[in-house]
């Protein structure tokens, strides 16, 4: 998908930007703040961050919106400022596997990093209202050439994601549904400010590669054993130690 088409499809935030108005500052100042908070840019001088703020585009993406689909050629890197995005792989018969759930201050669409117009191998979908900064591949290449540490930070993040993917593959190969579900609950809880997981049973099933009914029955068993408390699209961990022991089995 071309960046121009992307921006046309979603549109830019209305002016004055509601988030900027909330903070009582300009859109450009807010963009500088968001870009500075992304870990891969932590070594950039202030002047370069301000330059990025001028060349990148900020877009709003409502919950449920598809950001890009598998098979689409993409020439941009997406920087997630607020909200959450899930990365989904889908089989030919419609089975879904959520390979990652990303929170603020990270990036996705990393095929733009390889410098070739390869199609994306997965679909990105907003699971919360999201504010996203779009960085063109051209600007990304310039940034890495002029500031090699940025490239190293990207490699660090991609390596960490690869290790996490390998751990997931290992879980699929050697662990049953209860252990896989316990593991994903622990990982999701660590990504929230209050430790409360906000996900549907279907979303959890997609994360561990099982049916929704199986995930629901397993969660109910966890509840009976006092390990979790279930709410409407929310899960609170009550016994982390028991879940950690189960995740290792």
- pLDDT band at 21; cut points 50, 70, 90: very low
Domains of the chain: 3-164 (2.60.120.10), 175-247 (1.10.10.10)
Q: Answer yes or no: are the C-beta atoms of 82 and 131 closer than 8 Å.
A: yes
Where are the strands (E) in 48-159, listed by range? 57-61, 66-68, 76-82, 85-90, 96-102, 106-108, 123-126, 130-136
Cβ burial, residue 232 (10 Å; 0-12/13-18/19+): exposed
If you average pLDDT over every residue of the chain, what do you get?
84
pLDDT over threshold 50, residue 1: no
H-run or E-run covering 119? none
pLDDT single digits (tens) 95-125:
788 888 898 888 998 877 765 556 677 899 9
Main-chain dihedrals φ then ψ at residue 57, nearest 5 degrees: -120, 135
> What is each CA distance from 203 to 5, 76, 127, 211, 234, in whole angstroms?
29, 27, 10, 10, 12
pLDDT over threshold 70, residue 25: no
Alpha carbon distance 100, 145 (integer Å): 29
- pLDDT band at 12; cut points 50, 70, 90: very low
Alpha carbon distance 80, 77 (integer Å): 10
pLDDT single digits (tens) 57-96:
888 999 999 999 888 877 789 999 889 999 998 877 777 8
């Amino acid at each position: 998908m071309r960046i121009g088409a992307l921006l046309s499809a979603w549109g830019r935030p209305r002016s004055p930007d509601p988030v900027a108005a909330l903070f009582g500052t300009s859109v450009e100042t807010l963009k500088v703040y968001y870009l500075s908070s992304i870990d891969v840019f932590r070594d950039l001088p202030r002047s370069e961050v301000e330059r990025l703020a001028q060349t990148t585009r900020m877009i709003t993406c409502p919950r449920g919106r598809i950001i890009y689909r598998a098979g689409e050629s993409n020439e941009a890197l997406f920087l997630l400022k607020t909200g959450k995005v899930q990365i989904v792989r889908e089989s030919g018969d419609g089975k879904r596997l959520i390979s990652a759930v990303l929170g603020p201050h990270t990036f996705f669409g990393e095929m733009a990093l390889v410098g070739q117009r390869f199609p994306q191998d997965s679909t990105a979908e907003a699971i919360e209202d999201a504010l996203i900064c779009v960085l063109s591949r051209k600007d990304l290449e310039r940034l890495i050439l002029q500031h090699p540490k940025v490239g190293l930070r990207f490699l660090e993040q991609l390596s960490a994601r690869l290790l996490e993917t390998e751990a997931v593959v290992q879980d699929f190969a050697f662990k049953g549904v209860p252990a896989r579900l316990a593991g994903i609950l622990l990982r999701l809880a660590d990504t929230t400010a209050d430790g409360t997981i906000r996900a549907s049973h279907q979303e959890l099933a997609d994360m561990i590669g099982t049916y929704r009914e199986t995930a629901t029955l397993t969660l109910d068993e966890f509840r009976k054993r006092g390990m979790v408390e279930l709410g409407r699209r929310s899960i609170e961990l009550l016994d982390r130690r028991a879940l950690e022991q189960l995740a290792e089995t």
